[in-house]
């Protein structure tokens, strides 16, 4: 939802915001597959950025603190970016 809010703050068209949000979430989901085919150093980074990799433990009923921190940082990042974008638009008018 935080990513969708940020994408919505970037454009005035709801359809474009929805499509861009879907595209970004799909990219973060697919990045896990790219991590399996990349070099060792790049693979670790891509797997860490993948939403799917962090969600696997939750589907098994395990609560890993690193997964929770990932999602909290993800939410915080996009909420802060949304606030900064909306504040910048407000100050320009």
> Domain limits of the chain?
2-92
Q: Per-10-residue mean pLDDT for the chain, 93 residues long?
A: 95 95 91 74 79 87 91 96 93 78
CA distance readout (Å), 8 to 27, 46, 52, 78:
17, 26, 23, 11
Given a contact cutoff of 8 angstroms between Cβ atoms, the answer to whether 78 and 5 are in contact is yes
CB distance 35 to 51 below 8 Å: no
- Supply the pLDDT for residue 29: 85
The pTM of this model reads: 0.82
Structure tokens, 73: 């940082």
CA pair distance 90, 92, nearest whole angstrom: 6
């Amino acid at each position: 939802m935080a990513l969708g809010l940020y994408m919505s703050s970037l454009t005035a068209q709801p359809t474009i915001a929805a499509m861009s949000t879907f595209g970004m979430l799909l990219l973060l989901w697919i990045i896990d597959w790219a991590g399996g085919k990349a070099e060792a150093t790049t693979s670790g980074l891509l797997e860490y950025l993948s939403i799917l990799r962090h969600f696997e433990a939750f589907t098994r009923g395990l609560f890993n603190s690193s997964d929770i921190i990932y999602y909290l940082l993800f939410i915080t990042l996009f909420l802060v970016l949304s606030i900064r974008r909306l504040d910048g638009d407000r100050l320009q008018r």
